[in-house]
A and B are shown apart, each in its own frame.
Chain A
């Protein structure tokens, strides 16, 4: 590596550094935008350096230039359109779609390299382990992410789709994919490559189909890690440091988030992939079990509690987003704050459909980020809270998690039951996705406000305004 390509490689090192600095700046909401801009600058430099390298090389045909430029421009336009029009509730789908595209492109880079060598009549000899890994991981990510996005968008049933003999098929696909990969180490073969691609695509579909909607935060994080790894492998295949570093960074990020999400649900990754209990989305409504008493409350009484509280913590869950109630809740919080009530939000790591999703939804509703508190930060505050207002959150507030012997034992929860009084807004006594009774609802301090979250927020806001206005 000397002369011109050496200088270009040097530019790629700079690009890698900009990516690291950009991600470093993401460690605070105050600098995060700058971080994104720094990373974007790195990307623009990488693009320019690559175009310069290609022009210098001089072997790109006119058709080649047209194909690449038209492809990249059309793709950019599509990406920009999607990014500008997407609803914030649909961010998980979009992220999943981008994972799919990145994984697919990474796989194509290696597939093309393979095809190109063969079509030139080059003796391929053996296949590099990086080519095999790139294609395997890239193809699994491509199809798996499409299924994940489809589930999140509601195009595919959110419930675990159990195909008869699905596990057997899964094993067969995995064996075929790995087998053809292993075969290629010995003898390079284009047909074997095609078999591997198809098996890996099938495996990606079969891997994500049986996973329930509530496990999506883990799945998205995992697929994100896969995409990063595939891109790093593509970097090995074409010997490009920018791809290797960027892929490694994304792989690390995805892996960390996967672990955080799995821990927050108290489930192992294997347990989630194999398919777990229920889905939560359509949990059947059941009568409160046994002789446990619940206390219903109406808007006016709830409003009195809120208006005369000194400190209120709002506990939002996915139900809040599903009911599109985030703007209404933010308005209620604003009215309370103007009245002198201290309001903050307790955000459980898995509130939403991807890591941190609830924060974005509330930020969109104009909630200042200092009010958004992480679980470890807010838990000690519940004891000196007058009213905890639970909206659309269920399992993550269930004190049963502190006891052994049930579906959520050991899961980290928000200590809502420590608050002086608790109001739960919920449509019915339905279960969360763990499918067990929430002991919080039968706590003597708890009042149940049965209503749709959006309507409840509006009614409460009106009632509070009447009280304090």
Chain B
């Protein structure tokens, strides 16, 4: 058993234990956003998909690289966006209907990069 493999296994086991510890503290109220957020996190497989390109030099390689990067791209971006959208709905107090924007209303009036950032849940966005 190589050192690299031992290191990888150590990291895997420790990460599993950290995961159990951290996830166990998430309240049931947030279980759907949690699953959606972990969904986005497994989008890290995009890194693996991109690295296919390092050695891909023929049609089969390119096709596999394309499908993998498409899958992973949709997974990661969609995952974060929908998690952000859900979490934005969790409010301590009900907002008055005038300012409220159930569903797609929040997509209006936010143009440009900042709006995009807000929509997919980075930067300040609006609250």
Mark A residues whose CB is within 8 Å of B.
Answer: 1, 15-16, 19-20, 22-24, 26-30, 32-33, 35-37, 39-41, 43, 46-47, 50-51, 53-54, 57, 59-61, 63-65, 67-68, 70-76, 78-80, 82-88, 91, 94-95, 98-99, 101-102, 104-106, 108-109, 111-112, 115-116, 119, 220-221, 224, 227-228, 231-232, 234-257, 260, 327, 334, 347, 349, 352, 354-357, 359-360, 363-370, 372, 374-375
**Alpha-carbon separation in the docked complex, A28 to B103 (Å):** 22
CA distance A444 to B101 in the complex (A): 42
Q: Is the CB of B39 within 8 A of A248?
A: no
User: In the assembly, what is the distance between CA of A359 and CA of B47, in Å?
Assistant: 33
Q: Given the known A-B contacts A22-B37, A26-B30, are A16 and B15 also in contact in the complex, defined by CB atoms under 8 Å? A: yes
> B residues touching A (Cβ–Cβ < 8 Å)?
4-5, 8, 11-13, 15-20, 22-58, 60-62, 64-95, 100, 102-104, 107, 119-123
Q: Is the CB of B44 within 8 A of A111?
A: no
Give Cα A60–Cα B25 distance, bound, in whole angstroms: 43
Most A Cβ at <10 Å: residue of B20, B56, B68, B82: B68
CB atoms of B119 and A84 under 8 A apart: yes
Quick one: given A68-B69, A111-B64, A242-B47, are A253 and B74 in contact (CB under 8 Å)?
Answer: no
A33 touches B87 (CB 8 A): yes
Q: CB-CB < 8 A to B68: which residues of A? A: 71, 104-105, 108-109, 112
Q: How far is the CA of A120 from the CA of B38 in the complex (A)?
A: 36
12 additional contacts, CB 8 Å, given A1-B4, A80-B120, A366-B91? A27-B22, A37-B84, A50-B46, A61-B56, A68-B50, A74-B73, A79-B74, A98-B40, A231-B48, A235-B8, A355-B28, A369-B91
Contact (Cβ within 8 A) A72 B61: no
Q: Is the CB of A374 within 8 A of B27?
A: yes
Question: Nearest chain-B residue to A371 (Cβ)?
Answer: B94
Q: What residues on B are CB-neighbors of A242 within 8 Å?
A: 44, 47
Closest to B23 in A: A253
Q: Is the CB of A67 within 8 A of B62?
A: yes
Distance from B34 Cβ to chain A, minimum over Cβ atoms (Å): 5
Check A95 against B90 for contact (C-beta < 8 Å).
no
Are B42's CB and A102's CB within 8 A? yes
* Shortest Cβ distance from residue B25 to the other chain A in the assembled complex, whole angstroms: 4
Which of these, B41, B46, B67, contacts A39 with CB under 8 Å?
A: B41
Q: How far is the CB of A361 from chain B (nearest CB, A)?
A: 9
Given that A67-B66, A112-B68, A355-B32 are known contacts, is A101 also in contact with B74, CB under 8 Å in the complex? yes
A76 touches B73 (CB 8 A): yes
Q: Is the CB of A26 within 8 A of B33?
A: yes
Chain A residues lying within 8 Å of B62, measured Cβ to Cβ, are 63-64, 67
**A89 CB to nearest B CB, Å:** 11
- Counting chain A CB atoms within 10 Å of each CB, which of B61, B86, B107 scores highest? B86
A98 in contact with B45 (CB, 8 Å):
no
Contact B34 A253 (CB under 8 A): yes
- Could you tell me the distance between the alpha carbons of A118 and B30 in the complex, rounded to whole angstroms? 46
Interface pair B37/A80, CB less than 8 Å apart:
no
Query: How many interface contacts (CB-CB < 8 Å) are there between A and B?
Result: 419
Q: Chain A: interface secondary structure?
A: helix
On chain A, the residues within 8 Å of B60 by CB distance are 115, 119
Is B87 touching A32 in the complex (CB atoms < 8 A)? Answer: yes
Is the pair B85, A83 in contact by a Cβ cutoff of 8 Å? yes
Q: What's the Cα separation between A367 and B34 when bound, in Å?
A: 19
* Minimum CB distance partner of B97 in chain A: A366
In the assembled complex, the Cα of A446 lies from the Cα of B60 at a distance in Å of 65
Q: Which of A83, A116, A238 has the most CB of B within 10 A?
A: A83
Please, which residues of chain B bring their CB within 8 A of the CB of A369? 29, 90-92
Contact A109 B54 (CB under 8 A): no
Q: From the candidates A23, A115, A220, name the one contacting B61 in the complex (CB within 8 A).
A: A115
Most chain B beta carbons < 10 A, residue from A86, A91, A102: A102
- Closest beta carbon of chain B to A464's beta carbon, Å: 17
State the Cβ distance, A283 to closest chain B Cβ, in Å: 25
A226 to chain B, nearest CB (A): 10
Quick check: A95 and B49 within 8 Å, CB to CB? no
Which residues of the partner chain B approach A75 to less than 8 Å between Cβ atoms? Answer: 69-75, 77
Q: A83 touching B19 by the CB < 8 A rule? A: no
Instruction: Provide the bound-state CA to CA distance between A374 and B24, in Å.
Output: 15
Quote the shortest CB–CB distance from A307 to chain B (angstroms). 20
Q: Which residues of B contact A59 (CB under 8 A)?
A: 54-55
CB distance from A248 to the nearest CB of B (A): 4
Give A305 Cβ to nearest chain B Cβ, in Å: 24
Q: Is the CB–CB distance between B103 and A249 below 8 Å?
A: no
Q: 8 closest Cβ contacts across the A-B interface?
A: A79-B78, A252-B19, A75-B73, A356-B31, A83-B81, A248-B15, A79-B74, A71-B69
**Residue from the list B45, B57, B83 in contact with A102, Cβ < 8 A:** B45
Q: Which residues of B contact A68 (CB under 8 A)?
A: 49-50, 52-53, 65-66, 69
Would you mind naming 6 contact pairs between A and B with Cβ atoms under 8 Å apart? A27-B22, A105-B49, A119-B58, A250-B19, A251-B16, A251-B19
